[in-house]
Amino acid sequence: MTDPSVFIVDDDPGVIEAVAAVLSDDGYRVSGASDSRSALLAVLADPPDLIVLDVSMPGLNGWELCDIVRRQTTTRDVPVLFLTGRGEVRDQITALQVGGSDHLKKPFRAEELRGKVRALTQNARRRGSP
Amino acid sequence: MKSRGHRPLRLVSSPTRDVALDVERLRLERLGTDAVTNLPLHPDPGVGFERIAGLGVVYLQLGRFAGVESLYGWELYDRVLRLTASSLKEDLEISSLKGQHLSLSFNGCDGFCLLFDLSTRPAQRHAALLEPEARRFRQGVIRRLRQALGRIAVDLMSVYVGVASVADDPRVRPSRNLARGVLEAMRAAEALQTDARKGRVESLKEILSRRELRTVWQAVLGLSDRRVLGYEALIRGPVGSDLEMPDALFSVAREGDMLLELENLCLETIFAALPRAVRSSVLFVNASARLLTHPVFLDERNLSEMQRTHGNIVIEVSEKEIVWNYVAFREVLERLRAAGFRFAIDDAGSGYSGLETILQLRPEYIKVADSIVRNVHQDAIKREVLSSLLSLGRQIGATLVAEGIESEEELRSLSVLGLPYGQGFLFGRPAARISAGP
């Protein structure tokens, strides 16, 4: 079984690097994009095992991106972890409504990120296996 | 997973013109399709500009179901819509008009539209062909919703169908002919809905004049020791009637502009007969912001009368209401606090207001909406919402109560999170009498 792949989307390249540093140490195959539109097409072309997604981004925000991902047959079941500075209950509900799987507030602790990513990629594997 | 050393990060290149165009296309697709039902948002026969000599329209309207969303939340209404869409698709497969079916669309809110090509059938037969099929579609939807959602759906059930047929006319643009047909079928469905509404309002008037309400009690328990903290008073209409459940009563009262009358009678009914067990514990009663700000309710004699009957009352106000009545509400709250009442924010986490509102009102209790409790063990975001509410509760010294607990898994998950109190069917159905144990 190949290592799970994670795609990180954040308009701040610093955040991508920080998340990537934690996850690649754990053996995940990580890729990312700081432009949400390029990210969307990359994810649709080659669906990852998990998307880590910022909410506030210019052009196409994380919620829209998630909504589009949920509508495509190839990416319908890819779990999405929202990584955002917005912590209001209202925003968490929006994350649920567009089909998000979990939510992590910035700034985040590496341990918390690890735990959530592990849980989401394992769930997806279990669902995927017969 | 074991550490396997640092791996390179692969970065996707910056956007090009093609990327922008592709994303625009995906966005447009999104605009044309409903996310929940996956149905097109516009009725389109899908025949290009070919003319259809006789177009049949069946319009199915989920009457008061729009109200279900503000009562039970978007998740339940999502389910209603998915069930309705799949019911229509299944029944289309066995419909006598299957061969004539052109398209199924959804208006994005509460209406489904089916188009048929009836060109091969004589125009005077169109209504006779469409009406029995429309009735079958309606019955199918009602049956499946009842099966899946049970009682709550039955009480609020109202599904209406209308039909129309339009003949092609070379002087009229087909697109407008189509739109007229859809509108005509929709109006036919709406006319039925209006008649039904009048009937419902009449039966509520009768219930109010005969004072046919009763109270049932639901215990609020400590999740670790199952000790009773208090009881929530819940209102029921006549047994077996369409207006037995409070949501049905209140939605009809809203239609008939009788909310205050209904609420007054609710309070009178509750306070008229408090069981012994309730008298010695916390009494949770629901009230709308509208009632609480009403001069008759705020009258000193009324308030002290309530306090005399029960000295430990917590008034539950729904989060949905406070948003709209914020400033006026805060003043009233202070007056009622001075009179000895405490408060609970009901339906917290249902997404109507931010934490800020709850923070400002400083309720003694925060009651977490059952939509957040439902399957909380399977949903990380819901646990996240609960954590936010818990930390808010700690900040303002409010006690959390989880509503609508139905399964052991939910209970376990809530206990792990540290919810102190809860209520729900898991601990027993609301009952008119209170037995010794929970």
3-class DSSP string for A21-89: HHHHHCCCEEEEECCHHHHHHHHHHCCCCEEEECCCCCCCCHHHHHHHHHHCCCCCCCCEEEEECCCCH
Please report residues of A whose CB lies closer than 8 A to that of B20.
Answer: 37
pLDDT at A130: 37
Q: Which residue has the tokens 């977490």?
A: B368
State both tokens at B351: 């997404």
Contact yes or no for B214/B433 (Cβ under 8 A): no
| Cβ–Cβ < 8 Å for B184, B164 | yes
pLDDT value, residue B263:
94
Q: What averages of pLDDT result for each successive group of 10 residues across chain B (438 residues)?
A: 62 76 87 93 89 95 72 83 96 96 95 96 93 96 88 67 94 92 96 89 95 96 95 95 87 89 94 92 92 88 91 89 68 90 90 71 92 92 92 95 96 96 95 73
Interface test with B, best of A36, A96, A98 (most B CBs within 10 A): A96
Q: Is the pTM here over 0.80, yes or no?
A: no
Hey, which residues 312-351 in chain B have their CB within 8 Å of chain A? Answer: 349-351
The shares of helix, strand and coil residues in chain B, as percent rounded to the nearest 5, are 50, 20, 30
User: B8 — contact with chain A (CB < 8 Å)?
Assistant: yes
Residue B313 parent element (H or E): strand B313-318
Contacts of B10 in chain A (CB under 8 A): 30-32
The pLDDT of residue B329 is: 78
- Check pLDDT > 80 for residue A127: no
What was the pLDDT predicted at B49? Answer: 81
Fold of the domain spanning B33-201: Alpha-Beta Plaits (3.30.70)
Mean pLDDT, residues A65-71 taken together:
94
Contact A112, B384 (CB under 8 A): no
DSSP-derived secondary structure letter, A4:
P
Q: What is the pLDDT of residues A92-124, one digit of tens each?
A: 888 989 999 998 988 999 999 999 999 999 876
Of A29, A38, A71, the CB nearest to B19: A38
B211-427 has CATH 3.30.450.40 classification: no
- Where along chain B do its domains lie? 33-201, 211-427
- Chain B interface disruption, residue of A73, A89, A114, most B CBs within 10 A: A89
Residue A1 has pLDDT above 80, yes or no: no
Long-range contacts of B85-92 (CB under 8 A, 24+ apart): B85/B37, B85/B38, B85/B39, B85/B112, B86/B144, B87/B137, B87/B140, B87/B141, B87/B143, B87/B144, B87/B145, B88/B60, B88/B112, B88/B114, B88/B137, B88/B140, B88/B141, B90/B140, B91/B136, B91/B137, B91/B140
State the smallest CA–CA distance between residue B413 and chain A in angstroms: 16
What CATH code would you report for A5-125?
Answer: 3.40.50.2300
Query: How are strands ordered across the β-sheet holding B159-167?
Result: B101-106, B111-117, B54-62, B159-167
pLDDT value of position B99:
95
Q: Which residues of A touch B11 (CB under 8 A)?
A: 16, 31-34
Query: What is the reported pLDDT for A40?
Result: 94
pLDDT for residue A14 is more than 70: yes
